[in-house]
């Protein structure tokens, strides 16, 4: 399974208030309906803005999703966390509109945004009859921001509180702040989206904000997807009207340092005030648009998706070494990570827990998986895709993401890329990534 670690502008108020009724979090599915192809039309404005329209007249709603091709990987190493802080500032008023949220809510709309290491994504859901309000708001903040000092001061505080809430004031919360610089030596994935440290956010200045806007927030660096009860012709007109006269800026070519191949096994032990020991094993793995990515994603499902998965059956149920253990990929656009993390039961030596994980990885390297097991994980992938295709917002976000990866059309080829993976591929991929010299192992131990 892919787990994107991203930062939302805000967490909807109710999400945290009445889930209190649950004693544990269960996996929830998107409420969506099925269609095997996500259809769309596309055009590009003269200033370089790419527009994709996904017509869906089964809903009275519309979504407008704007993906900016900028993430934490594009930051200056001395000013990390900036892409995410900037995302917050995009809500601080634009050149002609003092408040972003208020006019949107007034027409029955809602919005949010998130930043990851790779991208920054903004989205609006509103009644389709009021679509133009979304164009008005989004185009004005692409044109220019208000750059209010007050907004900068407040959002620096808000982001610092977010940093504390998610990373510093939670058991194990800081693990990715520690792991990233261990695993990546050159590539900017070596810092987390939230930033390396609070001071990088505290020190942000208005000049930096302006420079960042100028560099990344322009039409050629954005992909807009409009979906729902909308006609392509109308979207074209609205796009010309509101975005057409935003000045064009040539898209910058990204030139990030390439992470050199890891050649030596890395190990680290840290102690913290946590109730239980935790084990993290991290391997370099293929980038999102390589076929190898699909192999690693299926491997993570074989290992830990559901009660019939290998780590659950063997390490939780049968050997009783872990209370929970999971495997996932980062799915990042540059070469990413394959992670196994788990909490060994009290009394289990870390070395034994780690050895048991290696036994499972070695099985993948030496034995072919059965056809039944492979079909099982593929079926799950396929139906997950079908379920996801039913949510208008998911469709819009996915079209934008695949367009960024090269072509929106590939959203509809996604399932076939998983289905193309053979038992041979799984074994080959396991051999290429599950090597000691490609691994970083962190023991996160209770004081």
Query: Please, which residue, 39 or 165, has the CB nearer to another protein?
Result: 165
- The tokens for 311 are 């780590």
Among 242, 328, 402, 418, which residue interacts with another protein (rule: CB under 8 A)? Answer: 242
Nearest approach, Cβ of residue 7 and another protein (Å): 10
What does the alpha-carbon distance between residue 427 and residue 333 come to, in Å, rounded to a whole number? 23
- Mention every residue, 6+ apart, whose C-beta is less than 8 A from residue 386: 34, 36
| Stretch of residues binding another protein (CB under 8 A), selected from 64-72, 75-83, 306-314, 397-405 | 306-314
Q: Shortest gap between Cβ of 34 and another protein (angstroms)?
A: 3
Among 162, 295, 334, 414, binds another protein (CB under 8 A): 162
Between 183 and 316, whose beta carbon lies closer to another protein? 316
395 touches another protein (CB under 8 A): no
The smaller minimum CB distance to another protein, of residues 20 and 263, is found at 20
Q: Which of 41, 44, 59, 232 binds another protein (CB under 8 A)?
A: 59
Quick one: which segment of 43-51, 58-66, 184-192, 400-408 binds another protein (CB under 8 A)? Answer: 58-66
**Which of residues 35 and 362 has its CB atom nearest to another protein in the complex?**
35
Q: Which of residues 77-96 bind another protein (CB under 8 A)?
A: 95-96
Question: Measured from the CB atom, is 140 or 334 closer to another protein?
Answer: 140
Q: Which of 3, 46, 57, 60 binds another protein (CB under 8 A)?
A: 60
Position among 215, 254, 317, 363 found at the interface with another protein (CB under 8 A):
317
Nearer to another protein, 40 or 100 (CB): 100
- By CB under 8 A, the residues from 346 to 365 that bind another protein are 346
Would you count residue 341 as binding another protein (CB under 8 A)?
no
Residues 6+ apart with CB under 8 A from 21: none
Q: Is 24 in the site for another protein (CB under 8 A)?
A: yes
Which residues, including other chains, have CB under 8 Å from residue 294's CB and lie 6 or more apart?
Answer: 417, 418, 420, 421
- Near another protein by CB under 8 A: residue from 27, 207, 247, 253: 27
Residue 17 lies near another protein (rule: CB under 8 A): yes
Comparing C-alpha atoms, which of 270, 229, 219, 200 is closest to residue 63?
229
- Which is closer to another protein, CB of 259 or CB of 382? 382
Contact 211, 181 (CB under 8 A): no
Q: Which of 39, 76, 170, 362: binder of another protein (CB under 8 A)?
A: 170
User: Out of 116, 133, 300, 330, which residue is the one contacting another protein (CB under 8 A)?
Assistant: 133
Among 206, 211, 256, 308, contact with another protein (rule: CB under 8 A): 308
x/- contact string, 179-218, with another protein (CB under 8 A)? ----------------------------------------
Task: Rule CB under 8 A: say whether 379 interacts with another protein.
Answer: yes
Least separation in angstroms between CB 341 and another protein? 13
Contact 67, 119 (CB under 8 A): yes
> What pairing do the DSSP bridges indicate for beta strands 7-8 and 110-115?
antiparallel
Cα–Cα distances in Å, from 19 out to 25, 31, 343, 408? 8, 17, 24, 35
Do the strands 439-446 and 278-285 form a parallel or antiparallel pair, or are they unpaired? antiparallel
Is residue 405 a contact residue for another protein (CB under 8 A)?
Answer: no
| 106 lies in the binding site for another protein (CB under 8 A) | yes
Looking at residues 261 to 300 of the shown chain, list those that interact with another protein (rule: CB under 8 A). 273-276
Residue 310 φ then ψ, to 5°: -65, -45
Residue with smaller CB distance to another protein, 23 or 253: 23
Q: Which of 79, 77, 121 is nearest to 256 (CA)?
A: 77
- Given 46, 153, 202, 351, the residue binding another protein (CB under 8 A): 153
Q: What order do you get walking across the sheet with 439-446 strand by strand?
A: 266-272, 439-446, 278-285, 336-344, 322-329
> Does the protein bind another protein through residue 241 (CB under 8 A)?
yes
SS (H, E, C) 212-255: HHHHHCCHHHEEEEEEECCCHHHHHHHHHHHHCCCCCCCCCCCC
Give Cα separations from 138 to 52, 99, 142, 398 (angstroms). 15, 12, 6, 19
Q: With respect to another protein, which residue has the nearer C-beta, 388 or 439?
A: 388
For residue 21, CA distances in Å to 18, 361, 403, 406 come to 6, 38, 40, 43
**Helix (H) or strand (E) segment spanning residue 272:** strand 266-272
* Pairwise CA distance, residues 176 & 301, whole Å: 22
CA-to-CA dists, residue 261 to 25, 256, 264, 283, 439, angstroms: 38, 15, 9, 11, 11
Which of 99/431 has CB closer to another protein? 99
Tally: H helices and E strands in the chain: 16, 12
What is d(CA 39, CA 269) in angstroms, rounded to the nearest whole number?
Answer: 50
Pair type for strands 439-446 and 266-272: parallel
> Site for another protein (CB under 8 A): which residue of 1, 154, 405, 419?
154
């Amino acid at each position: 399974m892919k787990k994107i670690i991203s930062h939302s502008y805000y967490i909807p108020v109710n999400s945290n208030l009445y889930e209190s009724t649950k004693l544990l979090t269960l996996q929830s599915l998107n409420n969506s309906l099925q269609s095997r192809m996500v259809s769309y039309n596309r055009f590009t404005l003269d200033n370089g803005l790419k527009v994709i329209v996904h017509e869906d007249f089964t809903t009275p709603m519309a979504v407008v999703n704007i993906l900016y091709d900028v993430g934490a990987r594009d930051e200056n190493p001395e000013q990390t966390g900036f892409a995410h802080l900037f995302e917050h500032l995009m809500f601080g008023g634009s050149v002609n509109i003092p408040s972003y949220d208020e006019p949107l809510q007034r027409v029955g709309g809602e919005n949010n945004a998130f930043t990851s290491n790779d991208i920054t994504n903004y989205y609006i859901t509103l009644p389709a009859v009021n679509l133009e309000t979304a164009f008005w708001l989004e185009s004005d903040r692409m044109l220019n921001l208000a750059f209010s000092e007050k907004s900068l001061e407040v959002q620096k505080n808000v982001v610092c509180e977010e940093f504390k809430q998610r990373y510093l004031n939670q058991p194990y919360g800081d693990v990715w702040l520690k792991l990233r610089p261990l695993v990546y030596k050159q590539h900017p994935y070596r810092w987390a989206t939230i930033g390396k440290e609070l001071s990088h956010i505290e020190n942000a200045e208005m000049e930096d904000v302006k420079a960042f806007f100028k560099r990344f927030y322009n039409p050629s660096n954005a992909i807009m997807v409009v979906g729902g009860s909308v006609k392509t012709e109308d979207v074209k007109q609205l796009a010309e009207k509101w975005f057409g006269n935003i000045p064009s800026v040539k898209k910058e070519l990204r030139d990030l340092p390439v992470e050199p191949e890891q050649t030596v096994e890395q190990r680290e032990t840290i102690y913290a005030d946590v109730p239980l020991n935790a084990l993290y094993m991290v391997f370099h793995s293929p980038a999102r648009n390589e076929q190898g990515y699909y192999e690693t994603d299926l491997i993570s499902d074989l290992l830990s998706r559901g009660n019939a998965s290998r780590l659950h059956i063997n390490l939780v149920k049968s050997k009783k070494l872990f209370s929970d253990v999971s495997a996932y990929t980062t799915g990042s656009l540059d070469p990413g990570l394959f992670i196994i993390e788990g909490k060994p039961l009290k009394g289990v030596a870390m070395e034994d827990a780690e050895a048991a994980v290696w036994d499972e990885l070695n099985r993948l390297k030496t034995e072919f998986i059965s056809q039944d097991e492979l079909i099982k994980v593929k079926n799950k992938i396929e139906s997950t895709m079908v379920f996801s295709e039913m949510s208008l917002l998911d469709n819009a976000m996915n079209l934008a993401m695949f367009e960024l990866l090269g072509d929106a059309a590939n959203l509809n080829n996604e399932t076939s890329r998983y289905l193309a993976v053979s038992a041979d591929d799984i074994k080959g991929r396991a051999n290429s990534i599950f090597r000691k010299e490609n691994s970083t192992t962190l023991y996160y131990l209770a004081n």
